[in-house]
Amino acid sequence: MFKTVADPADCEVCSVIRFLNAKKVKPAEIHRQLVEIYGENVMTDVMVRKWVWQFNDGRTNVHDKARNGRPSVVNDGLVAKVNEKIRENRRFTIRMLFNEFPEILKTVLHEIVTNRLNYRKLCSRWVPKMLTNV
């Protein structure tokens, strides 16, 4: 029995796929060997076949391509502005904050208030999660 490797890097797994593919090992066998060494959740058979196909097409890089995504609108400046508005009126609602910051989604505002600023609703008044003398 082989020693299993926990939590491998993606490029490590792709390097193994590239190596075994160069040795003309079939994708199903590559997947079986990956599961044997890295565990059940390493990579699906379909993804192994995709990587093999890309390597056969001439790909040499084992790192994933950078993906485009929506940039986060949450930054320290925005968090400070939201905190300032909250301190002006502790009896605010997310809807009132949304009226002040219409360019930001309500869910993002709620995430800022609860996760970044650690405020919790207490008897219709927002207070810091850790009560301190202010």
Question: Does domain 10-57 bear CATH number 1.10.10?
Answer: yes
Beta bridge partners, 121, equal 126
Tens place of pLDDT for every residue, the chain, 134 residues?
Answer: 567 788 888 889 999 999 999 999 999 999 999 999 988 888 899 999 999 999 999 999 998 777 777 777 788 899 999 999 988 987 888 888 999 999 888 999 999 998 888 888 766 666 677 766 66
Residue 134: helix, strand or coil by DSSP?
A: coil
Host H or E run for residue 126: strand 125-128
Contact 101, 67 (CB under 8 A): no
Q: What confidence score (pLDDT) does residue 125 get?
A: 63
Six token digits for residue 66: 């950078």
d(CA 45, CA 35): 10
Contact 20, 30 (CB under 8 A): yes
- For residue 86, count other CB atoms closer than 10 A to its CB: 19
Q: What confidence score (pLDDT) does residue 92 get?
A: 82
Domain range annotation of the chain: 10-57, 76-116
Interhelix angle 10-22/27-38, rounded to 10 degrees, is: 140
